[in-house]
Structure 1
Amino acid sequence: MTDTQIEHVTPDHTAPPQPVSNDAGAVAISGPAAWDLAQKIARTEFVPQALRGKPESVLAAILYGRELGIGPMQSLQSIHVIDGRPGASPELMRALVARAGHRIDVVESTADHVTLSGERCDTGATATVTWSLEDARQAGLIEIRDGRPWARSKQGRPLPWEQYTRAMLLARATAELCRALFADVISGLSYTVEELQSIDRPATLTAETVDWHGLGWANQAEHDVERDRIRAALADVDGAVRDELLTKWAEMGLAWPLSRDQLAEWEQVAASITDQERAVDADESSSAVDETGDGTGNSARGATTRDESNPAEPVHEEKRRATGPNMVVPPALLAEVRSAAAAAELADLEACEYLSTMFGRAIDDLEALTAAQARAAVEMLHQAAASTPAPEATVS
């Protein structure tokens, strides 16, 4: 068990430190201004993945942070909601305590335990908390193997308790000390994010502890057959579609093993993405057959000559042959990209330079974008148009 000692003493300093005003961290936003800010922030990479694209949740985090006297961006990075309960990073807890004028000191920090002490500036009450590997083992957070902490995910990957043991001990000790001595300071943020995530879920999850029946499978073998089928299907698609599928997988927060319901939901999403790409391919193929409408089969973008020994095979159609039929951006989507670029006051070449920076790869021509890249480009350019001032690009 953790060693927590609380003692009321008379402080031996004649002028105890005074609480620091919260005004410096407060941001005066409310009403439409707060909602507008939340909508804009929700589209940026500054927002954690769990909140991205969710302005309502972003606004809730900002307003909760305002009650604690911290700014919008710090709120988004330090406050997380797990199953409807707000949790804070241990760094935020310590910062709130220090700002209120109280003290938290690290008495000892070793590979197997961390001891913290705290003192209130108003009453002089003190407390000492120790968290050890044995505490973590008894809580079901780790196992001890060969004298070292061991904690693995369902997939066998090392968890933070195994990789960053000292930091995790410090986080647990911080939360316990704050609950014991500074409950008024941390308000409703009584638990760290890691504590909330570990409630009702042990960290050491192995194949033997998975409830396959609860996930909807007869046994692990039945699940693994479906897992291998999904992996094989993913290996069969081209790079652009695979990238989009993997991105969606991450956005959905999926990880093996999946429940039967999760697998069904994923297959619906994957089918929607691949069907959309097939529709794009069909549209491009039909538009490339006869863009001039004269029945000759010549493309309006450039002459398509044919090999007389094989009349059905075009010899060259630069963009299509260079990128492959699955990679050409459809005209309607290309128009969206150019419209978004115009809204950001960027010409084609300027937009290419801007997107090259955002994608981290050279984009020489908007028509060379893949369908997936084009959809991402539209969102990026909309964000650029909403920024003040619009991003500048220098064309060499």
Structure 2
Amino acid sequence: MTVVALADRQSHQHLAAPALPRMSVESKLDYCKAFAASGLLPRQFRGQPANLLYAVEYAESLGLHPMVAITGVHVIEGKPTASAALISALVRRAGHRLRIKGDATCAVAQIIRTDDPDWTFEARFTIDDARRAGLLGKDVWKKYPAAMLKARAISAVARDACEEALFGIHYTPEELGAVVDQEGNPVYIAGEIQQDTKEEPPASAAAPQRDFLAEARRASDAAAVRAVWEDAKGAGVPQHYLNQLAAIGRDKPGARVAEQQLAEAVVEEHQDQDDEHAAALAAMYDAACAAELSNEEADEAFAAHYGHTPAEATVAELVEQREDLLDAAGGAA
């Protein structure tokens, strides 16, 4: 059984668990404060009762047990995301039929809605799609291409076929830029992604994992937090994680000077990202012109395909759309 299939079966079993009885706000707070002390929680919830309260509220809105949200829902830049396994379980809980097949070169996911059994929704994601999107350099894509391709196909077909079953969960963490493990769950450690627990590395090869948030909280002043922030940035952690580190630094002695330095670094990084995005957007519009489309028509086509506007797109999505438009134009420059 594949990693995705096993995780999907486990998540579907979890969905069958009854939701907790509705609690008062005071009871929820006490529950979360007590639960946050557990060292077995995912890292983003340890010692963070407010984060746990968010998960409990989200689970209640979905009619799920809180553990489903705690282990399966991850908030990236304020947007709830879920693993492909949980998305699959939500689709099947709604009564729709989901089929997924593939290998390390291509994955195809199909959904047959319970209210429209004569039509099959299908999404396909290939290794060439991943290459055009710049994904193959990621460690998890090198190690688990089949699982990653299936995850992309599942989330794409679910968005297209039954968005109402997802309750606002449209993407996996990996699609929004998080560093993930082979099951699609975010990890925030220096260097390579966490080793597969099924393949224990030799003791001499096991590198210590860094909890940058814990280091930042222990830091004596803002300058020390700044050093942790630099290390985390060099390790390639997502932007929302860097933002959390910056927030910790603002409460430390000497924060005013360090905050100014950090703000300048963030602005510079965002400027680089904005410049790259603007260049990719302009190139996409040039390709649209070659395909005899106006900018407005190109925007509509993009939104229909990706579910958001080009202004909200990643550079990889803009590059992919440009190549598709050039193909439609017969390869014209």
Q: Rg larger in 1 or in 2?
A: 1
**TM-score with structure 1 length normalisation?**
0.42
